[in-house]
A and B are shown apart, each in its own frame.
Chain A
Amino acid sequence: MSDLTYEARRARLEPLFESARSLLDPSSERGRHARERLVASSGLSPAGVDFALQRCLEIAPSEPEISALIRSTPTAQVAHVLLSANVFVAAHRAIAIGLAASAEVRVRASRREPEMAELLLAGAPGAFRLVRELSPSAGDRLWAYGSDETMADVATTLPSGVALHAHGSGFGVAILDGMPDESDLGTLLGGLAEDVALFDQRGCLSPRVLLVNAEPAAVSALARALARELEQLARRVPRGQLTTQELSEQAKYRDTAIFMGEVFEAGPGFVSLGEQGRWLLPPTGRNMHVVATPDPLAMLAPYRPLLTSCAFAGEPAQRQALSRALPGARVCRFGEMQRPPFDGPVDLRET
């Protein structure tokens, strides 16, 4: 069987899936060990690490999803994977894409956070190689994940003939097109709070802004309710440690937001309320900016290249319009922003 047949590519994925599954049980030796290491490296709280593993690690992707992942992944002589830090579960999907591309997969983990790649390899020995430096040659492919700055550096140093799939920085938004009834609203905001809290908002899928098509007074009440949801969630899943720089960014954001409008304490973070048309991108660390707008799609227009994910609640026709307007973003339901289908890279923007 050739390395390039669908069956061969599919077979290479199974040991990785098994390795991921074996991390999930916190009472197992491997699950306990994984949690200890990930808490130490990620900056998340122990509950935050467990929450992320339970909610976001794809342990049972469906066959149609796996099929889509394989069919959308080009093959390569050698697949190189450059991982970013913090959204540790992302290593699983990134390595899966590498395995779908080639039988020879070399992975360079983030220096700051190599744990997840090492844990996956320990559970699937020989499935891929962990290397200190990547040295791709012509005919190889490199999947790179990280900040735009890192992507720019990678692009300028890559030998010719190497295909680069660069997935840089981004952020998510949520859109509430109209006010749902109270019970639905609670579910939606609870889901959004989880989307925010996962990875303490450090991922490119993490929502930072909520656009609401409703009267300003209702939106103010909604912002307050979101703050309450975040506060309650933080009791169950505390935020981890922020760096001094992150705390500084948060202090600056908080005071800027206070100067511009209402701000609600949301446990360890804040929910700010913006005037119509005023965007304020909160820093990571469980902060959300809420804006009332009669036309959320129009408000998104300038930010399209930056958007990786968009949670939507509202009329189906509007959702379709949103999907057309944001072909590079994954449009999903509230509470599912951090769990996109396992059908390829989470970042669908053109690379």
Chain B
Amino acid sequence: MTRNAQSDDLHRAVRRFATGDRSRSFSELALEIAAFQRQFSAGFARLCKSRGNSLTRVDDIPGVPCDAFRLARVALHPESEDRLRFFTSGTTSGARGMHAMRVTETYHELALQFGRSALLSNERPHHVVALAPLLDEPPTSSLGHMMAMFMVDFEQRGPFDVRTHERWLIDDRGVDLTALERAAERATKRGETLLVLATSFALVGLLDALGERTLPLPAGAVVMQTGGFKGKTREIEPSELRAALARAFCIDHARIVGEYGMTELTSQMYEASVPGSALARERRGQSGVYAEPPWLRVVPVDPSTLEPVPHGEVGIARIVDLGNVDSALAIQTQDRVQRVEGGIVLLGRATGAPPRGCSLAIEEFMASVAR
């Protein structure tokens, strides 16, 4: 069977798994995808070889470091077959990575399925806006693309042009508070549930712009908060930010839901906090605890040995995402995590070793080169 035929089969199997088909377990699918990637990715094959070539358990699957996405093409297929290319925004270390997708259906289905489960809290029509810059064409930000998908899917009124300034409420001047107020008024008038999709730094910008004022959102509104600050704004502790947002929007804390996603991944995790959402009913999650979808598993590993840590101990996240059929099934991040009941607690990024003496730290190097 050709590479693409194998890939297509695996994509279909993953999509079936996501809709509840358990004829193949998570582990079976993961190991099949790993074997497929070992066959067609020389880099992944070398990683497997360095671990003794054993691929018998999910824990055996080596994670591809996120840095690899910045330094090399992480895809099994040639560039000519890319249907989507998402670029990282550049963390504090500067250089941008790229995640190329050959099959977009899997990305769309997985993102929508878990997004609906985490963010939709009632049967009423929704109105979706993003505290993000106008989506570029073609989309290069996976987050922006996902936000656009949510706008179309969650409003359930068929395809429409999402590229309008009424939807994307950040421009060169910052957050457009007036447009957000208009969106809130519209949702109230029409009896719609307002969903605000936002990055953490956009929300801090909004709080700064509001000052002591409030911007009440209609009852039932949900705010999805994602991402770090990436040096773009002042940083606020997550609990403090949530409290400030709840105050500013006059909504319950539980309606501010955290999302965890990465350009290098196909799937996302969410806090299972939104009252009435399917995810909250299933997991009854606490604030700060991120639920994995059934097709994604976080394995906290020791930062030095990259071996899984005992249950409940802090490690850095190796993320096994069945959606990453054509790139890297397992991603090794530097995000510190801890497994608790109901999911994963995010503890912030493990920074690179601080420079001892005057040797150049790798993050300094990447940032300097990117400038």
Residues in chain A within 8 A of chain B (CB atoms): 43, 84-87, 90, 112, 145-149, 167-171, 199, 201-204, 206, 208, 243-256, 258-260, 263, 278-281, 283-284, 302-303, 305-306, 347
Residue among B304, B356, B361 having the largest count of chain A Cβ atoms under 10 Å:
B356
CB <8 Å contact, A256 and B71: yes
Residues in chain B within 8 A of chain A (CB atoms): 43-44, 46-47, 50, 62-65, 67-68, 71-72, 74, 303-306, 316, 332, 334, 350-362, 364-366, 368-369
Report the minimal beta-carbon distance from B92 to chain A, rounded to whole angstroms. Answer: 12
Looking across the interface, which residue of chain B has its beta carbon closest to that of A260? B72
Assembly CA distance A148 to B355 (angstroms): 9
Residue among B306, B350, B360, B364 having the largest count of chain A Cβ atoms under 10 Å:
B360
CB <8 Å contact, A283 and B362: yes
Assembly CA distance A145 to B356 (angstroms): 11
- Residues of chain A within 8 A (CB-CB) of B366 are 281
4 closest A-B pairs by CB: A86-B357, A248-B303, A204-B358, A247-B304
Looking across the interface, which residue of chain B has its beta carbon closest to that of A281? B365
- Residues of chain B within 8 A (CB-CB) of A260 are 43, 68, 71-72
Assembly CA distance A85 to B67 (angstroms): 28
Assembly CA distance A303 to B355 (angstroms): 18
Looking across the interface, which residue of chain B has its beta carbon closest to that of A204? B358
Looking across the interface, which residue of chain B has its beta carbon closest to that of A262? B46
CB <8 Å contact, A256 and B359: no
Report the minimal beta-carbon distance from A344 to chain B, rounded to whole angstroms. Answer: 16
Report the minimal beta-carbon distance from B50 to chain A, rounded to whole angstroms. Answer: 5
Assembly CA distance A333 to B306 (angstroms): 38
Looking across the interface, which residue of chain B has its beta carbon closest to that of A282? B362
Looking across the interface, which residue of chain B has its beta carbon closest to that of A148? B364
Report the minimal beta-carbon distance from A165 to chain B, rounded to whole angstroms. Answer: 14
CB <8 Å contact, B353 and A248: yes
Assembly CA distance A290 to B339 (angstroms): 39
Q: When A and B form their complex, what is the total count of cross-chain residue pairs whose Cβ atoms lie within 8 Å?
A: 136
Assembly CA distance A169 to B306 (angstroms): 29
- Residues of chain A within 8 A (CB-CB) of B364 are 147-148, 169
CB <8 Å contact, B43 and A248: no
CB <8 Å contact, B71 and A245: no
Which residue of the partner chain, among A204, A208, A249, contacts B352 with CB atoms under 8 Å?
A249
New contact pairs (5) apart from A90-B357, A203-B357, A255-B50, CB-CB < 8 Å:
A170-B360, A245-B303, A252-B334, A260-B71, A284-B356
CB <8 Å contact, A255 and B357: no
Assembly CA distance A239 to B98 (angstroms): 36
Assembly CA distance A30 to B355 (angstroms): 30
CB <8 Å contact, A202 and B369: no
- Residues of chain A within 8 A (CB-CB) of B353 are 243, 245-246, 248-249, 283-284
CB <8 Å contact, A280 and B357: no
User: What are 20 pairs between A and B in contact, CB < 8 Å?
Assistant: A146-B358, A147-B361, A169-B364, A170-B359, A204-B358, A204-B360, A208-B360, A244-B303, A248-B334, A252-B332, A256-B68, A256-B71, A258-B50, A259-B64, A263-B46, A281-B360, A281-B366, A283-B353, A284-B356, A306-B360
- Residues of chain B within 8 A (CB-CB) of A256 are 65, 67-68, 71
CB <8 Å contact, B306 and A251: yes
Assembly CA distance A257 to B316 (angstroms): 19
Given contacts A251-B306, A259-B72, contact A204 B357 (CB under 8 A): yes
CB <8 Å contact, B332 and A255: yes
Report the minimal beta-carbon distance from B356 to chain A, rounded to whole angstroms. Answer: 5
Given contacts A278-B71, A303-B369, contact A251 B357 (CB under 8 A): no
Report the minimal beta-carbon distance from A93 to chain B, rounded to whole angstroms. Answer: 13
CB <8 Å contact, A84 and B64: no
CB <8 Å contact, B305 and A202: no
CB <8 Å contact, B64 and A85: no
Report the minimal beta-carbon distance from B97 to chain A, rounded to whole angstroms. Answer: 11
CB <8 Å contact, B62 and A255: yes
CB <8 Å contact, A169 and B355: yes
- Residues of chain B within 8 A (CB-CB) of A199 are 357
Report the minimal beta-carbon distance from A167 to chain B, rounded to whole angstroms. Answer: 7
- Residues of chain A within 8 A (CB-CB) of B362 are 249, 253, 281, 283
- Residues of chain A within 8 A (CB-CB) of B67 are 252, 256
- Residues of chain B within 8 A (CB-CB) of A206 are 359
Given contacts A244-B303, A252-B67, A306-B365, contact A258 B358 (CB under 8 A): no
- Residues of chain A within 8 A (CB-CB) of B361 are 147, 169
- Residues of chain B within 8 A (CB-CB) of A147 are 354-355, 358, 361, 364
Which residue of the partner chain, among B65, B334, B355, B360, contacts A259 with CB atoms under 8 Å?
B65
